[in-house]
Amino acid sequence: MSQTNRQFVLGKRPEGKPDRDTFELEETGIPEPKHGEVLVRTLFLSVDPYMRGRMRDRESYADPWDVGEPMAGHVVGEVVDSEHDDWQAGEFVFGNGSWSEYATLDGDDLTPVEPSANVPLESYLGVLGMPGRTAYFGTREVVEPTPGDTVAVSGAAGAVGSTVGQLASFAGARVVGFAGSDEKVDYLEDDLGFDAGINYKETDDYRAALDEAAPEGVDGYFDNVGGPISDAVFTQLNVDARVAVCGQIATYNDEGVATGPRKLPLLIPSRARVQGLLVGDYVARFEQANARLQEWVESGDLVHRESIVDGFENAPDAFLGLFEGDNIGKQVVNVAEPSE
């Protein structure tokens, strides 16, 4: 085992788009677990769009990171040393760790991870992790698709969106997804069972494209993106439509809010319900969601993909790529291989 540990800390707060200088790589010693703790070697690290919010000096649902503070993130790892009765060396775990090669984590906060043929380790950061649960609760309890509905999804080929579209389809809805390349649109239509995909980067008129893909209008909208895509979807909402506002990645790098609530008048004729969604609100039912998602994944009904960037030192690039649309499905970093 190497005697050094590497970790990323917030190097400086970005203005606008983050870049490599946002992150600082530090070498430290490998920490020793205290009573109740477990030393975990990171195998896969999750990079997520919400982390952009933590780089700002502004209170939100996730606290801002201080400059110089190690960056937190979900990890799948291997227990190296344990001072907790429930965990032994060699076991795979999921935990709320940090951008580091090794971390000591509270053994009470870890959950077991069991890889199998259809369920690779990294899927516990995606379809069986926070993004999958976001999709599960947001689709079923906010968008509430029923047979015959049309559901639109933005960020459709990403971790959350790709699961949302499939769950809406399972519920009998026609599903239309916005994504940023032809390859992604093919993935939506050929692998995930979306009825139509729109490559928004090759489309000038989102509204006309949506009108063509969803001629009956939109009954449910799962919004991961915001910005002009959402502006277009709001014009197509049917009476009593449900909108889940999950993410607004199109504006995460903006320093000010450039636009007012100019689309809200459209909610009057549609009487649509627009609801913010925060996956943490459903924590009491995470186990239930995971059991169902796992069944679908193991049976092969729920398709998932992970985009893997190799090498701990490349974690910043994996994060920055989320804003360029580099990923299909869940973006993770492969930090190390399991020991033999």
- Positions touching ligand NDP (CB under 6 A) are 48-50, 130-131, 134, 155, 157-161, 179-181, 184, 224-225, 227, 229, 246-247, 249-250, 277-279, 322-323, 325, 327, 331
* 101 CB-near residues (< 8 Å, 6+ apart): 2, 5, 6, 7, 41, 42, 312, 335, 336
Least Cβ distance, residue 187 to ligand NDP (angstroms) = 11
Q: What one-letter code names the amino acid at 91? A: E
Question: Of 224 and 270, which CB lies nearer to ligand NDP in the complex structure?
Answer: 224
Q: Are 319 and 19 in contact (CB under 8 A)?
A: no
Structure tokens given for 110:
């870890």
Least Cβ distance, residue 90 to ligand NDP (angstroms) = 30
In the chain, % helix, strand, coil (3-state, to 5) comes to 35, 30, 40
Least Cβ distance, residue 73 to ligand NDP (angstroms) = 12
* 23 CB-near residues (< 8 Å, 6+ apart): 8, 9, 10, 11, 71, 315, 316, 319
- CB-side neighbour CA atoms (13 Å) of 78: 14
Q: How many residues does the chain have?
A: 340
Least Cβ distance, residue 36 to ligand NDP (angstroms) = 29
DSSP 3-state assignment of 188?
Answer: helix
Question: Of 123 and 331, which CB lies nearer to ligand NDP in the complex structure?
Answer: 331
The helix or strand, by DSSP H or E, that contains position 335, with its residue range, turns out to be: none
In angstroms, rounded to a whole number, what is the distance separating the alpha carbons of residues 233 and 215?
Answer: 12
Q: What one-letter code names the amino acid at 306? A: E
Place of tokens 């600082």: 24
Question: Of 98 and 163, which CB lies nearer to ligand NDP in the complex structure?
Answer: 163
Least Cβ distance, residue 110 to ligand NDP (angstroms) = 21
Least Cβ distance, residue 75 to ligand NDP (angstroms) = 15
Least Cβ distance, residue 158 to ligand NDP (angstroms) = 2
In angstroms, rounded to a whole number, what is the distance separating the alpha carbons of residues 128 and 114?
Answer: 11
Question: Of 70 and 180, which CB lies nearer to ligand NDP in the complex structure?
Answer: 180
Question: Of 5 and 181, which CB lies nearer to ligand NDP in the complex structure?
Answer: 181
Question: Of 246 and 297, which CB lies nearer to ligand NDP in the complex structure?
Answer: 246
Least Cβ distance, residue 106 to ligand NDP (angstroms) = 23
Question: Of 91 and 141, which CB lies nearer to ligand NDP in the complex structure?
Answer: 141
* Number of CB atoms found within 10 A of residue 192's CB: 23
Question: Of 160 and 167, which CB lies nearer to ligand NDP in the complex structure?
Answer: 160
Count Cβ neighbours within 10 Å for each residue of 309-332 and write b for 16 or more, e otherwise.
beebeebbbbbbbbeebebbbbbb
